[in-house]
Amino acid sequence: MDSPLFTAASDFDMGRKMEWAGRSSHLGGIPRKLVFIAVGAFAKVVDTLLNSTSVHNAETLIRLVHSRPPGVPLITVSNHMSTLDDPLMWGFKEFPSADAKLARWVLAAEDICFKNVVLTYFFRLGKCIPIRRGAGIYQEHMNEALDRLSDGAWVMPEKSFFGRRPPFPLCNKDIKIVVGEPIDFDLPKLRQMAMSVSRDMSFRSSGWPMTSPHGLDEPAQRWLYTTISDRIRAIMEHLRCLAIQF
């Protein structure tokens, strides 16, 4: 792997150049373990000592994090309340926030977390994958995220504070975390439906790949993306309403 390039034009390439720092084999995994121990301890302090945190259905998430069939990936979706939602949301009681092996992979904003060598190295150790906001789903590092899912890993993808997301953890707040039930998608069936429906669809191309690895043309890809997104959005809205009740 090439060494990082220290030029102004290479800032957004730094995450890719330091992909080696995100490997579990890097220096025997010791730097990664130290990062998760430190950040996990910080999350525990914020969640349990500085704030009051209640979690609904925590056992479901803990079970899925600890035990899944080999090769089965896990994707968690959450609303975005602050800049530090991740990793602070994992600091609740009984969650293995300091376990680097069980920890999630997360998509992190390239312009915030990968601005220089030090930040890039730190966030790579924290199992963060750089993503360029506004660049869509077909960008270079999405392939890296797909590789982690193929390995069976866990990959993670507003309110305001004086008009902005709070840049630091707040104190004396009631934190509510609502965990939903697992959502299973029958992807082979959905792909077949997408190909069938796409035959009757016509619209102007918006730059999606002409074909996907599974042979889906652009209309089929867009139908599949919309169908899955709509289902997740509906469930997220249900969880938001549930959080208000308890």
Are 62 and 144 contacting, i.e. CB atoms less than 8 angstroms apart?
no
**155 and 58 inside one domain:** yes
Please state, for a pLDDT cut of 90, what percent of the chain lies above it.
53
- In angstroms and rounded to an integer, the radius of gyration of the C-alpha atoms of the chain is 19
Are 23 and 147 contacting, i.e. CB atoms less than 8 angstroms apart?
no
Mean pLDDT over residues 140-156, rounded? Answer: 88
Range of the domain at 210: 184-245
**140 and 220 inside one domain:** no
**70 and 169 inside one domain:** yes
Residue 1 has pLDDT above 50, yes or no: no
Measure the CA–CA gap between 203 and 199, rounded to whole angstroms.
11
Enter the pTM of the model. 0.83
Q: Identify the domain boundary among 182, 203, 221.
A: 182
> What is the tens place of the pLDDT at every residue in 45-86?
999 999 999 999 999 999 999 999 989 999 999 887 777 888
Task: Give domain status of residue 37, yes or no.
Answer: yes
How deeply is 203 buried, as exposed, middle or buried, from its count of CB atoms within 10 A (0-12, 13-18, 19+)?
Answer: exposed
Residue 161 has pLDDT above 50, yes or no: no
Task: Give domain status of residue 208, yes or no.
Answer: yes
**176 and 203 inside one domain:** no
Residue 143 has pLDDT above 60, yes or no: yes
Q: How confident is the model at residue 158 (pLDDT cuts 50, 70, 90)?
A: very low
**69 and 150 inside one domain:** yes
